[in-house]
Each structure stands twice: as structure tokens, then as C-alpha cells.
Amino acid sequence: MERKPVHVSYLTQVPGPYRERMHELVSEFGDFSYDVIYCAKVEPNRKWKLSYGDYPMYFLAEKAETFRHNNLNVWGLLNKLNPTILIITAFKPTMLYGVLWCLLRGRKIIVYNDGTYDSEQHLSFTQKLIRKLVYKVTSAFMAPGKGTVDLYKSYGVAEKKIFKSCLCVDNTQFEYQPMQQRPYHILYCGQITERKLPFLFTDVAIKLNKEIPNFKALIVGDGALKDEMLLRLDKNNVDYHFAGFLDQKSLLSYYAKAKVFLFTTIDDVWGIVANEACASGTPVITSKEAGVAGDLILDGENGYVLPLDANVWANTIKALLENEQQLETFAEKAMEIVKPFNHQQAADGLRQAVNWTQPAKKNQTTLTPLNL
């Protein structure tokens, strides 16, 4: 008996520049039809200038207000699209309506969660219960890295059901410059908000400024704490350049202007800025609070994973900047390690998860989880 055509719908919150090419590649596979349902077009705190990919997409709302998380319009759209498999990427009410729709119609569910075991420890009993119930009816799971794999396993998910679909950028678009040609010692790139710990960066910069001749810092981004961040640097006579917010295209060359990227954060389930830095051959200093730690950023290979202590960061960075050979080795390793984190891998992981949920066709090769 011939299997019915497979139709996959990917239900997510808003478009992101690091996922558009993946969606294009998935839609080009041809072994199943594919579309993406967005809860809204824009995120209130994002300034992305996004070029949409060439794939079928639908929007439930124009703006990303709170109602985007609780939109019953998804039910009617699912009735229209009638997917065989639904991929959900969060556990907001809109996503849970999709889960219920699948259960009532006997459709398969795939969960893509970019949270990690550590990042979800603060969740309430109810939030954890919802995940536990959804995971019990989920056919396959997608994970960007090891932290999410550990999270799934903590809920009893079998490893054979987990497929890696990385978070990534187009590595080929980023520029590399030899360390000797980089005018800045350290780089901050991100929203200038409490979560991103801008004052840890300033404390490190102030300490390094006292130890390194002609020290210079580069700051890219914007946010509520910008004025205070720059004031602290000014008061301590730190030489810096503030570039402000840069769109994705303008940002491409900036990582290669600094010798080391300081990825300061109190909570990032991944941290796509680390991909961008590595693609530019820029070593990354971060902490275990970043999802990339131990996955993309390997301590002592392409950067360091350190406790959130300004003295430790300053001493480690000073030693690295004074060791040109190690700095170059880290730069080369950064570009090597980031290569497998690409859009093709992300698309292949999604395809593997989809095919896992389907009975194998005659002469079809069984797909197994990617190396996590």
C-alpha cells in the first residue's frame, strides 16, 4: 500500500535571520511538502532587517504583542494546511493548540526546543508538567546542541529519538583578518541590557586598560544600559569605539576587528553571536551560562569558558593577548570548529527527525540521529 504524501508544518514564534536558509533547504528536499507558520512578523525588542527566504510561510499576526502566544487562529490555519506532522518550537498556548489539534486528528508531533537542562531549572512545576505531557506524545525531537539533549534525557526521552539541528549563520559571509591587523583588543556585541552583563565587560576592559599598552575596546549594540556602560568606560579613561546597533549585513566585518570576543551573559540558551565570532576567526570568552559553552566554544581550544568573575576574565584574556601563537591557534580552531554548524546540517537534522516519524518505504535507507 502506497504511503500518503507527507506534509510538514513548522510552527514557531517569529522569523529569524539564522533560520531562513534552513527553511529554504528543507522546502527544496522534495521528499515531503513543507511550510512555516509564524505567530507574528516581528519581535518588539529586535531590530533585525530580515530578508525572507523562498518557502511557503504564513503569519498569524502582524505584530509580536502578547496575543501572539495565545492565538486561536492557528486552529483554522492547521485545518486548511492539514499537515501530517507538526513541529513546535515553544510551549506557549498557540503551540499547545497545535499539539491538541494533532492529538485529535492522529497527526505526528516533533518538538524543537533550544532550551538547555541548566536554563530550564528555574521553570515552575506547571511549566515542567506541560513539557512532560507534550514529550510523552512527541514522535521525534530536535536539538541545537548537547545542552538540549541533556534536557530531553532528563524527561526520559530516548536518545534514538533526538536529532541535531544546529543554530547557525552563513559562515562563508564573515571576514577574517590576521591578528596583527585587528585594531581592537576586545569586542562586545549584543543588546546592552542586564541579561547580557555589559558591566562585566566594562570591569574587564578597565582592568585590561591598566595592563595593556594602547588598549582599545569595540562595542556593538544598543540598549537601556548603554549610557551607563559608556560612562563607566569614560570615567576610567578606556579608549573605545561605540558602533551602536548594526544590521546583519553591516555586522559581517566587525568581529574581525577585535582579537577576542567577550560573550558576557547571565542566560543564553545558545548565543548565535558566538557562531559569528568563530566564523570570523575570533576566539570567544564566555561562561557556562551560554548554551554554546562546551558545544561550540571549547575551553582551551577556541576560547575559554570561565566563571563570571572580572578578575578571572581579565587575567585570562591578558595572558591570551600576550601569547600571539596561542591567539592564532585559537583563531584557526574557531573557524574549524564552527564549520559543521551550518544551514545544511540544520536542514538535514530536521529531515532526519521527519523521516524518523514515518514508516520506512521500500528500499529507503533508515536515518539515524546525527552525532550529538
Q: How far is CA 108 from CA 105, 155, 258, 314, 356, in A?
A: 9, 19, 47, 50, 11
Does 232 lie in the same domain as 130?
Answer: no
Q: How far is CA 237 from CA 93, 126, 152, 206, in A?
A: 50, 49, 48, 8
- Domain membership flag for residue 119: yes
Residue-wise DSSP of 170-204: -GGGS----GGG--EEEEEES--SGGG-HHHHHHH
- Domain membership flag for residue 366: no
Does 305 lie in the same domain as 255?
Answer: yes
Does 313 lie in the same domain as 216?
Answer: yes
Does 157 lie in the same domain as 186?
Answer: no
Query: Total domain count for the chain?
Result: 2
- Domain membership flag for residue 322: yes
CATH number reported for the structural domain that contains residue 300 in this entry: 3.40.50.2000
Does 351 lie in the same domain as 315?
Answer: no
The confidence score (pLDDT) of residue 48 equals 58
Does 259 lie in the same domain as 199?
Answer: yes
Does 346 lie in the same domain as 275?
Answer: no
Question: Consecutive sets of 10 residues in the chain, 372 residues long: mean pLDDT of each?
Answer: 76 90 94 94 68 92 74 96 97 97 98 92 95 98 95 96 96 94 97 97 98 97 97 98 91 95 95 97 97 96 98 98 96 98 97 86 44 48
The confidence score (pLDDT) of residue 250 equals 86
- Domain membership flag for residue 335: yes
- Domain membership flag for residue 135: yes
- Domain membership flag for residue 245: yes
- Domain membership flag for residue 2: no
The confidence score (pLDDT) of residue 254 equals 95
The confidence score (pLDDT) of residue 168 equals 96
CA 118 to chain centre: 16
Does 192 lie in the same domain as 114?
Answer: no
Does 102 lie in the same domain as 144?
Answer: yes
Given a contact cutoff of 8 angstroms between Cβ atoms, the answer to whether 176 and 281 are in contact is yes
Does 333 lie in the same domain as 200?
Answer: yes
Label residues 46-66 b or e (16+ Cβ within 10 Å = b): eeeeeeebebebebbbeebee
* Burial category of 11 from C-beta neighbours within 10 Å (exposed 0-12, middle 13-18, buried 19 and up): buried
Does 237 lie in the same domain as 91?
Answer: no
Residue with cell 501572539: 68
Parent domain of 99: 7-167+342-357
Q: Which residues contact 154 (CB under 8 A, 6 or more apart)?
A: 117
The confidence score (pLDDT) of residue 370 equals 47
- Domain membership flag for residue 76: yes
Whole-prediction pTM value?
Answer: 0.89
Does 156 lie in the same domain as 178?
Answer: no
